[in-house]
């Protein structure tokens, strides 16, 4: 469901990575590498938030280069800081995601929001929320519609122990019939999600 070939990114003369190749089907994959290795940049490229300098990405069989609308429609993205919508309330954000995916915020998403303890925060703006609360809202949005690929950058950051347990259950549930590709410095979290752990050396 997620495939990339010959991906490369550089900043000026500095080559961050070059010639990356990987294919992932249903299941969890955790990119576990050292800080500064390019994890956040790679995930942003896979989620169409940043352009690669070379190579191509396919999401659910659709190329980000030649068929970007269909590719992006197959994606749910949880960025590192989750501050893409500072003025939106949590409730409005979930409704925006549902509108973009031609669906509604259904009972599954609302139940997940409740399990994450988000109900008291839904009418706050993102700029008023902690990192953990913002993360939980973006994670809740992965259940809206049926995105085939979930990409998450350090999804455990800012979460307390009860929220981590909900995250682990969520990723294991999603992985049954879709691709969950996430970065993490937390090997315990990756193991709990039953993720295949990889590094840049594996690509």
What's residue 35's pLDDT?
82
Which pLDDT does position 53 carry in this prediction? 95
Cα–Cα distances in angstroms (integers) from residue 166 to residues 91, 94, 95, 123, 190, in the given order: 20, 18, 22, 22, 14
Quick one: the chain helix, strand, coil %, rounded to 5? 35, 25, 35
Check residue 33 and give its pLDDT.
87
Just give the CATH number of 2-202.
3.40.50.300
> The whole model's pTM is what?
0.95
Query: Is residue 163 classed as helix, strand or coil in its secondary structure?
Result: helix
The per-residue pLDDT string of the chain (203 residues; one tens digit each, 9 = 90 and over) reads 999 999 999 999 999 999 999 999 999 999 998 887 899 999 999 999 999 999 999 999 999 999 999 999 999 999 999 999 999 999 999 999 999 999 999 999 999 999 999 999 999 999 999 999 999 999 999 999 989 999 999 999 999 999 999 999 999 999 999 999 999 999 999 999 999 999 999 99
């Amino acid at each position: 469901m997620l495939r990339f070939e010959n991906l490369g990114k550089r900043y000026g003369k500095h080559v961050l990575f070059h010639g990356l190749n990987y294919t992932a089907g249903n299941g969890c994959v955790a990119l576990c590498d050292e800080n500064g290795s390019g994890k956040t940049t790679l995930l942003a490229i896979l989620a169409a938030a940043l352009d690669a300098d070379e190579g191509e990405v396919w999401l659910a069989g659709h190329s980000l280069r030649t068929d970007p609308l269909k590719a992006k429609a197959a994606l749910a993205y949880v960025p590192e800081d989750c501050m893409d919508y500072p003025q939106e309330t949590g409730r409005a954000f979930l409704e925006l995601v549902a509108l973009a995916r031609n669906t509604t915020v259904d009972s599954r998403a609302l139940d997940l929001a409740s399990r994450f303890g988000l109900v008291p925060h839904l009418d706050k703006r993102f700029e008023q929320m902690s990192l953990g609360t913002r993360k939980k809202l973006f994670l809740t949005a992965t259940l809206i519609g049926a995105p085939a690929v979930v990409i998450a950058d350090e999804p455990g950051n800012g979460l307390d122990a009860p929220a981590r347990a909900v995250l682990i259950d969520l990723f294991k549930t999603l992985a049954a019939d879709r691709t969950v590709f996430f970065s993490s410095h937390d090997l315990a979290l990756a193991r709990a999600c039953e993720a295949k752990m990889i590094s840049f050396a594996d690509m």
